Structure 1
């Protein structure tokens, strides 16, 4: 018995969802393959005895999910494959009652908006001229070094100012670091499930990327050593403290092992610590163990407020000039107005207050999430912004994400983080910060039901 096209009598209400769900099942079963052409809206509606509007709504749902794609003048086609540049989060706006667990964000409530409004009002009364008039980085940013060093110390890093660059958040710091450590054609290794922008950014810079085997503690040292013995590795890119898709925090001993391999093979290290001091009792940064070879970056964006794009990049002093030049050609300098505001918050304690608030809010969401998922296996980290849900038996990533999406829950598929062509641990990332507490509980209830059901479950509704 074939799944596609469906028997009209098998479609349930709401019919557009049931139709979309049936097509997804056909893709998962291999009846429909990447590139297969689908009937026109009108023809399928006629064949199934449905309205054209119902079929159009089902196709729209599948297009939003990325299961199919429409091409002007050619038709509609199955699109089961993924490109390297695909983001794990939704690129379109919100639709209806969609609960979005795909975007990694801190918790944001009206208190944050009021805090920002008060700060901007005060800034308007005593704004220094250098914050809006200077083109020279040394003149505009001189006063922001001390607050930056104070925040880095809170992150566990006592960094001299000579090896410090202020950046417009983590992405800018990541770009400068990659451009500084490697040239076109060089090899950079990383976790096999890692940062979703690393592959496309490396491709734009002409770098080669190789994903390394990970276990419950992060990158396996033997896999790192083997890669170094086989090829010349310029740098290893790591997210060792909960930020990685699998929500793993690398213990101190594993960090020391990787540093030892890096020293033995003279490999530079890029440490992405975007969450900063959000995690309690965290091991010291790799940059503190190996300052002579580590580029470390963090910012206030993830741990305090999404719009507070102010970050810090530290590096060995010998690379300071090269990194500063690359900062000039990509960003020129951090936005002084944002640096002024963020530095004031660090100095007067506002930043640390908001950090502690965020830690408590995310800690509570982690507890609620764990209670709802119950005995469903998942990975998490203290005060972390997401769960990692390994695929329950029989489920595929695409199938699980698609069924959740049909129940108005958006997830980030593990394939979006895949940086190895040979090894992949199927799973989905569930972000905890972007939604209200009530929406969080409703969405996690849907996920819990799906995880306990068969790969072809009955249609669930919120």
Structure 2
């Protein structure tokens, strides 16, 4: 049922307060999201058969509650809140209205569409029966597993006794790994800033999360050891290859130190390497340091093409049956048609060529970001899809996200990635993959100007 805008005559007295409550309710239920533009005072008054003064008073009340902001000449917008920050990206991009730097995507050019059209054309002339006819995962995907092993080798994974589960992308692999290593009520450790889907995944599975302190090399081994001795950690979730919000590439010494703690306390490790071989700096995966306890996953959606939703989950031998059964009851199997395209591209070298192109395209954008933010400290790495922008004391995350949105740029609030709020300083994530280079540069320059300035008082009044 749509609750926004309210129907004329549905508001209680005093009407201004009832209207303000209706906006609040629409925000809480998700019908209005941060960055959404509200009608002008005059238009809303006309639609609801109220006076302009009543609408103005309602908007003033919403400003007082911290729900909206307004800028003369641009309009009135829903203001970002800490609760709203659970999803860092805009659910839908409003074409022509903003530069969306909130969503983590690879760079896309017409060649990606051409490659997919060509692959589909080839499949039309040469489609294996098992791709469309088999209900049995082992049969349908048997021809694709060698390609998975070949791709994992490019990621530094040399399989021994581990098995590989083909999934519908990295998110599916992450959910399956969590479901296999932990049961309801178990405690999973991760860094204070982690993958934004980890929190809801853990909540849906009844797991508890503990965000632990980190430094420039990643999670502190002593913090993990302390948490294990004090609280009984079941597993640890890590993103050592620069995927995390702060783009930390964990050095080999830190990886080895964390493996030592995990071994001593018999922890399972989940290693997120979703970008695969794209980064120019790659260390030995944790799965190669502790193959008996590490669930490693990677995929093709970030480094090859968003529509190529195929992931590879490497499972320790002792958990092979458990992972296979859980995958059956949640997903049955990866989509064979997508797996067929991926396998062909891996075998003929197309996937590797696209990754090399993607790596260079992102390197160009990272060089651009460094130039734009030359006077401002930012975190990132040479081939990353985002930068992490710490905010000066004058800015809160909510204000910065709202100001950027009102200047036509969407960025992601850092709190969306926070597992341990008390350990995290205000910051925003700025993605640099989506959109054309000129558009990204314009968005970066808006963010750079804002961070060097002060919040504008005009944004807090209508």
Which range, TM-score by smaller chain? 0.7 to 0.9
Matched, 1:400 2:400: yes
Q: Distance in 2 between matches of 1:140 and 1:395?
A: 53
The answer for unaligned runs of 5 or more in structure 2 is: 1-37, 70-75
Determine the C-alpha separation between the residues in 2 that align with 1:186 and 1:157: 28
Q: Structure 1 residue 210 and structure 2 residue 210: aligned?
A: yes
Structure 2 counterpart of 1:83: 83
Which position in structure 2 is the counterpart of 1:275?
A: 275
> Is 1:430–2:420 an aligned residue pair?
no
Partner of residue 348, structure 1: 348
1:119-138 correspondence runs (5 A):
119-138=119-138
1:288 aligned onto 2:302: no
Deviates more, 1:414-423 or 1:290-299: 414-423
Work out the CA distance in 1 between the residues paired with 2:458 and 2:153.
52
Query: Shift in Å at residue 448 of structure 1?
Result: 1.1
For the 8 Å contact 1:188–1:207, the answer to whether it is kept is yes
CA distance in 2, matches of 1:373, 1:97: 24
1:261 Cα deviation (Å)? Answer: 0.5
CA deviation after TM superposition for structure 1 residue 85, in Å = 7.8
Deviates more, 1:82-91 or 1:324-333: 82-91
SS of equivalent residue, structure 2 residue 302: coil
* Structure-2 change in CA distance of 1:316 and 1:39 (3 Å): closer
Report the equivalent of 1:441.
Answer: 441
Q: Is the 8 A contact 2:85 2:413 kept in 1?
A: no
CA RMSD of superposed structures (Å): 2.8
**Distance in 2 between the 1:426 and 1:137 partners?**
45
Whether contact under 8 Å (1:169, 1:309) holds in the other structure is: yes
| Map of 2:171 onto structure 1 | 171
Q: Provide the C-alpha distance between the structure 1 equivalents of 2:44 and 2:263, rounded to a whole number of angstroms.
A: 62
Q: How many residues align structurally?
A: 406
SS in 2 for 1:253: helix
Aligned pairs for 1:214-229 (under 5 A) are 214-229=214-229
Q: CA deviation at 1:393?
A: 3.3
**Range that drifts further, 373-382 or 291-300:** 373-382
Provide, for residues 26-83 of structure 1, a one-character-per-residue CA deviation record: whole Å limited to 9, x for no partner. xxxxxxxxxxxx999469989xxxx96xx89x98xx99xx9459xxxxxx99876433
Conserved 8 A contact 1:84-1:199? no
Aligned to 2:157: 157
Q: Which residue of 1 aligns with 2:262?
A: 262
Residues 374 and 40 of structure 1: CA distance in aligned 2, closer, same or farther (over 3 Å): closer
Contact 1:85-1:197 within 8 A present in 2 as well: no
Cα contact 2:415–2:421 (8 A) shared by 1: no
The unaligned stretches of length 5 or more in structure 1 are 1-37, 70-75
Judge conservation of contact 1:85–1:199 (CA < 8 Å) in 2. Answer: no
Shift of 1:244: 0.2
In 2: Cα distance, 1:427 partner to 1:239 partner? 19
- 1:423 positional shift: 1.8
**Which string of whole-angstrom CA distances, capped at 9 and with x for unpartnered residues, describes residues 116-144 of structure 1?**
10011001101000000000011111111
* Residue number in structure 2 paired with 1:142: 142
Say if 2:247 and 2:380, in contact at 8 Å, map to a contact too. Answer: yes
How far off its partner does 1:221 sit? 1.1
For structure 1, which segment, 373-382 or 175-184, has the greater mean C-alpha deviation from structure 2 after superposition?
373-382
Deviations 1:361-410 (A, max 9, x none): 00011011111111110001121000000112311111111111110000
Whether the 8 Å CA contact 1:85–1:200 is kept in 2: the answer is no
Structure 2: distance between partners of 1:124 and 1:67:
53
Distance 1:298 1:415 in 2: 25
SS at 1:367's partner residue?
helix
